[in-house]
Amino acid sequence: MPKRLTRAFFKRSVHEVAPDLIGATLLFDGVGGRIVEVEAYHHTDPAAHSFRGPTRRNAVMFGPPGHAYVYRSYGIHWCLNFVCEPKGSASAVLIRAIEPAIGLPAMRRRRGVVDERLLCTGPGRVCEALGITGAQNGIALDLPPFELFARTRAAEVVAGPRIGITKAADKPWRYGLKGSPFLSKPFASSV
DNA sequence: TGCCCGATTAACT
DNA sequence: GTTAATCGGGCAA
């Protein structure tokens, strides 16, 4: 049986937690799969929502680690983050893609597509497939309906520049499972 | 207050 | 390749 991730797992820098999440299993209300792509947003990072201080939207980022930060992107989509580091540091990991494994019918119904590669490849798609909305903003990651399990085997993690940002776009803070067909975009570097 | 832009996606030409 | 959908935050006026 895989080991559950506790709140202590998130009491570290996003730059440690983010690569460790690759290969971990994320379930929401019994639906989900392995995390194959994430991005780290440190509070000193100009691209992070928390960079300019607390607002009503990003308040959860300034709270305790091990909780979900869910925000609306482009006024349309929901994006799921895991808050990291000691309380107040305001750093988080964006969940960008999942390999669908459990609850495929529910994901297909919510997404309105059949192709597995279109179910959870992208931050907005992950939330739609799992049924996550702003209603889940601030809830704990170690309690239902969330279930998180550590990876059972070592994962080959690749890193590269983050997607869809203009500030600090050169920083290689996007992490992925090497060779996964469920990445939202391929990683440039091989080997 | 008003205007521009953004951690996106799907549906166009 | 481009563009619409749609809203919170930052910043100028």
- For residue range A84-105, list pLDDT tens digits in order: 987 778 999 999 999 999 999 9
Q: Which of residues 51-110 of A touch strand B (CB under 7 A)?
A: 61, 69, 71, 73-77, 79, 81, 92, 94
* Pairing mode, strands A146-149 and A174-177: unpaired
Of A residues 9-28, those with CB within 7 angstroms of nucleic strand B are none
Model's pTM, two decimal places?
0.96
Give tens-digit pLDDT for A139-176: 999 999 999 999 999 999 999 999 999 999 999 999 99
Q: Which residues contact A111 (CB under 8 A, 6 or more apart)?
A: A118, A119, A125, A128, A129
Output the CA–CA distances (angstroms, integers) from residue A191 to A156, A157, A158, A162, A187, in the order listed: 10, 11, 9, 19, 11
Amino acid at A95: I
**What is the pLDDT at residue A85?**
87
Is strand C in 7 Å reach of the CB of A75? yes
pLDDT digits (tens, 9 = 90+) for A55-67: 999 999 999 999 9
User: Chain C: nucleotides under 7 Å from a protein CB?
Assistant: 5-11
> Distance, angstroms, CA A150 to C1' C11?
43
